[in-house]
Amino acid sequence: MTVILDGKKLRDKILEELKLKVASLTVVPKLVVISVGDDPASQIYVNNKKKYAEKIGIAAEIIGYPEDVTQPVLLKKIDELNNDTTVTAILVQLPLPKHIDKLKILTAIDPKKDVDGFTPYNSGLLFSGAKPFAYPATPRGILRLLDEYNIEIDGKHVVVVGRSNIVGKPLAQMMLNRNATVTVCHSHTKNLAEITKTADILVSAAGGKIIEDNMLKSNCVVIDVGIFRDEKGKLRGDVNFETVSKIASHITPVPGGVGPMTIASLMLNIVDLIENSGNV
Ligand code: GUN
């Protein structure tokens, strides 16, 4: 019997616990999200982050900018937020327009308020095997979900499809830190199926319908990070759920798997930032 990894249920459990924890803090956490442009998917993500933060007693604000905002304007706002003691967490929603230097923007965020763990300082800590102020939310959520279902990582072959700074790269590092053997595949990988067939745990964060049952060994654990609407307007992921769910030991649904875990992890990160920076 294939086990469906229920991210929604675990998210709700984590948020319930966090709500109590937030109420006991002497500092009210405050998340500020910087959002540029009007990409519909980004708008949904950003509004969701605010909604769930407020649900558990975290103050949240979205600062929206038009697509043609200049880099100095964004840098000035980040500097202001860094120096605002009421703001405990800063998130710049990605992607940013092409005329903005993403690395410059992310580097400007105070690492102690870097709720995504995307600043070079925090990713440097992660890649050095040290503890960053926050771990990237999607990888953190994936590990939490695997742990919840007692899925062993140590010694397992984890194949990550996708090499983004948001998911693929930090996840590979976090899996290494948990003693997995990690292979990272991407759009230039030759013979993808040959590699995915050797996965004990397959994580697809590539975007697009690419993972079929004949690319996997039976009883593999399948984590689907992809999310998009198909021709019929139905939400789906990178994995062909109908066929793969017949051979996998565990699989995440889309929606209801990784997405809710990203939100839960972001909320955990907001609380961690307060605890890690010694504000409490
Ligand atoms: N865009 C897609 N996922 C993420 C994320 O986890 N954080 C940020 N800041 N932007 C994203």
Question: Once rounded to an integer, what is the mean pLDDT over residues 209-213?
Answer: 89
pLDDT tens figures, 108-160? 999 999 999 999 999 999 999 999 999 999 999 999 999 999 999 999 999 99
Final residue of a domain: which of 58, 93, 110?
110
Residue 130 belongs to some domain of the structure? no
pLDDT for res 280: 40
138 lines ligand 1 (CB under 6 A): yes
Confidence check: pLDDT of 279 > 70: no
CB-based contact 269:119 (threshold 8 Å):
no
pLDDT for res 277: 73
For residue 77, the domain's CATH number is 3.40.50.10860
Residue 17 belongs to some domain of the structure? no
Ligand 1: which of 39, 94, 100, 109 to mutate, judged by most atoms within 8 Å of the beta carbon? 94
Total domains in the fold of the chain: 2
Answer yes or no: do 188 and 243 share one domain: yes
3-state SS assignment for residue 262: helix
Confidence of residue 231 (pLDDT cuts 50, 70, 90): confident
pLDDT tens figures, 25-53? 999 999 999 999 999 999 999 999 999 99
Which single residue is written with the structure tokens 């690419």?
Answer: 210
Ligand 1 mean position, distance from CA 246 (Å) = 31
* Buried b or exposed e, range 26-57, using 16+ CB within 10 angstroms: eeebbbbbbbbbeeeebeebbeebbebbeebe
166 lines ligand 1 (CB under 6 A): yes
> Cis link prior to 40 (omega < 30° from 0)?
no
- Strand pairing class (250-251; 89-92): unpaired
Instruction: Name the residue with the closest Cα to ligand 1, atom 8.
Output: 93
pTM for the full model? 0.97
Ligand 1 mean position, distance from CA 167 (Å) = 9
Supply the residues annotated as catalytic: 49, 93, 116
Answer yes or no: do 181 and 236 share one domain: yes
94 lines ligand 1 (CB under 6 A): yes
Ligand 1 mean position, distance from CA 196 (Å) = 26
Q: What is the extent of the structural domain holding 48? A: 28-110
Ligand 1: which of 45, 92, 142 to mutate, judged by most atoms within 8 Å of the beta carbon? 45
The string of DSSP codes covering 77-141 is HHHHHHH-TT--EEEE-SPPPTTS-HHHHHHHS-GGGBTT--SHHHHHHHHTTS--SS--HHHHH
pLDDT tens figures, 176-203? 999 999 999 999 999 999 999 999 999 9
pLDDT tens figures, 232-262? 989 999 999 999 999 999 999 999 999 999 9
Residue 270 belongs to some domain of the structure? no
Residue 1 belongs to some domain of the structure? no
Confidence of residue 207 (pLDDT cuts 50, 70, 90): confident
Ligand 1 mean position, distance from CA 218 (Å) = 32
* Residue whose C-alpha is closest to residue 136's, from 179, 106, 102, 108: 106
Going 177 to 178 to 179 to 184, the CA torsion angle's sign is negative
pLDDT for res 278: 53
Confidence of residue 210 (pLDDT cuts 50, 70, 90): confident
Ligand 1 mean position, distance from CA 121 (Å) = 18
Ligand 1: which of 116, 165, 262 to mutate, judged by most atoms within 8 Å of the beta carbon? 116
pLDDT for res 230: 85
Residue 7 belongs to some domain of the structure? no
Instruction: Name the residue with the closest Cα to ligand 1, atom 4.
Output: 94
Answer yes or no: do 48 and 153 share one domain: no
Confidence of residue 229 (pLDDT cuts 50, 70, 90): confident
Residue 32 belongs to some domain of the structure? yes
The minimum-distance atom of ligand 1 relative to the CA of 92 is 9
Return the DSSP state at 234: -
Residue 190 belongs to some domain of the structure? yes
